[in-house]
C-alpha cells in the first residue's frame, strides 16, 4: 500500500483490501481515480482516515492468526469488499438521503468493529471471526439497512488453530454455512427482509467459553425489526459439552430461588424501571431461572430479552447483570468469577 505520497493518502481500505488479498491495487493513486466509488472515497478526508485505521486493524488481525485463520479472514474481507462496493455505489437509490461517502463511512465503522474481534486473544485462546455478506436489489423500496437492497449478514466465532478435539468440536458447533446469494424471491417487494446473525463473546476460562448468538430481522416497511438471543455456554475439558447449572453453582446452592430475586433487584435499582408491569417481572423470573439464558461476563451473570418478551416491544429492559461478588458464595468454582473477556472498545 502506498502511504508516503500525500496525494495517495486517500487510498482506501477497499483498495488496500484488494492488495492484501491478492488483487492488483498497489499502484492506486487518487490522481488516477476512475470509478465513481474511488472518486467518492478520494474526496473524503474522513474516509481516508478510516482507511488508514481499517488497513492497520486488518493487518494486525492477519498477523495474529494462523495461516488457516488468516485465510478465513481474507475470505471474509473479500465478502465485505464486494458487499460495501455494491450497496454504497454512487447512483444507487438513496431514500434516506445518504451519499455514497456516508454509506461507505458507515460500512467502514461496522467493519472496524468486526475486525476488532479477529485475531483476539482471550484467556488461553486466540479467536477469529468469520463473516458472510450478501445483498440483492429490491425495486422501489427505500427501507432497510440500505435503500434499494435486501441484505444478509452472518457471523460466527472460531478458536484459531484448535489444539485438541474439544476446541475443534467447539468450532464445529459455532460454524454456520455461507447463505450464498440472495434469491430473487427474497428480494421481492412483498417479502423483502434484512437478516443479521452476529454474536457476543461473554468471557472465557481455561476450560469454558460463554457466547451469545444475536439475531435480528427486519421486514421492509414494518415499524421496527425483531431480535432474539441464544446463549451457548460450553465446557471444553475434559471434552466439549454444554455447560449446566450444576457446573456453575455448587451442589445444594439455592440458585433457583435466589437468582430471580437478584435479577429483579438489579432491574428495580433503575429509577425509571416499571415495577408494576407483571409481564416484565415474569420475563425476568423466567430468564433468571433458565441456564440457557445466562451469559457469563467479566462483571457477572447476565440475562437479555428478546423483542416483545417482556410484554411489548418498548418494555424490554436492557441486559441485566448480577455481580460475581454477589454470586460467589454459590459458585462451584472461583474460575467463573475470574474469567477473561474481550477488551473494552476504546
* pLDDT tens digit at each of 346 positions of the chain: 333 333 334 444 555 554 444 333 322 467 777 766 677 777 888 888 888 889 899 999 999 999 999 999 999 999 999 999 899 886 654 445 678 888 999 999 999 999 999 999 998 999 999 999 999 988 756 778 888 899 999 999 999 999 999 999 999 999 998 988 887 666 665 668 899 999 999 999 999 999 999 999 999 888 889 999 999 999 999 999 999 999 999 999 999 999 999 999 999 998 888 888 888 899 999 999 999 999 999 999 999 999 988 888 888 888 999 999 999 999 999 999 999 888 766 5
Read off the pTM.
Answer: 0.89
CATH architecture of structural domain 248-338: Alpha-Beta Complex (3.90)
Q: What is the pLDDT of residue 94?
A: 46
Q: Where in the chain is the domain with CATH 3.90.640?
A: 248-338
Q: What is the pLDDT of residue 5?
A: 34
What is the distance between the alpha carbons of residues 12 and 47, in angstroms, rounded to a whole number? 7
Q: What is the pLDDT of residue 186?
A: 67
Q: What is the pLDDT of residue 334?
A: 94
Q: Where in the chain is the domain with CATH 3.30.565.40?
A: 117-243
- Show Cβ contacts of residue 129 under 8 Å, excluding neighbours closer than 6 positions: 73, 76, 114, 115, 117, 118, 155, 156, 157, 158
CATH architecture of structural domain 117-243: 2-Layer Sandwich (3.30)
Q: Is 254 exposed, middle or buried (0-12, 13-18, 19+ CB in 10 A)?
A: exposed
Which residues are 133's β-sheet partners? 153
Amino acid at each position: 500500500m502506498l502511504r508516503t505520497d500525500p496525494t495517495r493518502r486517500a487510498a482506501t481500505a477497499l483498495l488496500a483490501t484488494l492488495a492484501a488479498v491478492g488483487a492488483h491495487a498497489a499502484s492506486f493513486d487518487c490522481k488516477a481515480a476512475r470509478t465513481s466509488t474511488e472518486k467518492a472515497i478520494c474526496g473524503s478526508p474522513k474516509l481516508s482516515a478510516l482507511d488508514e485505521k481499517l488497513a492497520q486493524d486488518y493487518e494486525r488481525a492477519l498477523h495474529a492468526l494462523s495461516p488457516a485463520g488468516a485465510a478465513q479472514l481474507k475470505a471474509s474481507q473479500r465478502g465485505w469488499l464486494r458487499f460495501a462496493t455494491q450497496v454504497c455505489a454512487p447512483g444507487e437509490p438513496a431514500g434516506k438521503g445518504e451519499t455514497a461517502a456516508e454509506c461507505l463511512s458507515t460500512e467502514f465503522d461496522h467493519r472496524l468493529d468486526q475486525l476488532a474481534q479477529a485475531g483476539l486473544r482471550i484467556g488461553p485462546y486466540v479467536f477469529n471471526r468469520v463473516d458472510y455478506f450478501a445483498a440483492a436489489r429490491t425495486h422501489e423500496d427505500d427501507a432497510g439497512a440500505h435503500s434499494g437492497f435486501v441484505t444478509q449478514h452472518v457471523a460466527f466465532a472460531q478458536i484459531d488453530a484448535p489444539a485438541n478435539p474439544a476446541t475443534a468440536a467447539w468450532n464445529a458447533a459455532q460454524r454456520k454455512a455461507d447463505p450464498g446469494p440472495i434469491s430473487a424471491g427474497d428480494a421481492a417487494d412483498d417479502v423483502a427482509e434484512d437478516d443479521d446473525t452476529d454474536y457476543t463473546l461473554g468471557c472465557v476460562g481455561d476450560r469454558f467459553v460463554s457466547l451469545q448468538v444475536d439475531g435480528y430481522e427486519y421486514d421492509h416497511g414494518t415499524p421496527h425489526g425483531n431480535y432474539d438471543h441464544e446463549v451457548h455456554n460450553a465446557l471444553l475439558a475434559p471434552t466439549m459439552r454444554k455447560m449446566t447449572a450444576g457446573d456453575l453453582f455448587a451442589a445444594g446452592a439455592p440458585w433457583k430461588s435466589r437468582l430471580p430475586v437478584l435479577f429483579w433487584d438489579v432491574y428495580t435499582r433503575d429509577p425509571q424501571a416499571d415495577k408494576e408491569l407483571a409481564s416484565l417481572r415474569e420475563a425476568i423470573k423466567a430468564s433468571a431461572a433458565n441456564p440457557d439464558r445466562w451469559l457469563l461476563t467479566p462483571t457477572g451473570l447476565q440475562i437479555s430479552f428478546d423483542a416483545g418478551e417482556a410484554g411489548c416491544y418498548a418494555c424490554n429492559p436492557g441486559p441485566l447483570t448480577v455481580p460475581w461478588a454477589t454470586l460467589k458464595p454459590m459458585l462451584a468454582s472461583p474460575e467463573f468469577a475470574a474469567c477473561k473477556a474481550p477488551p473494552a472498545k476504546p
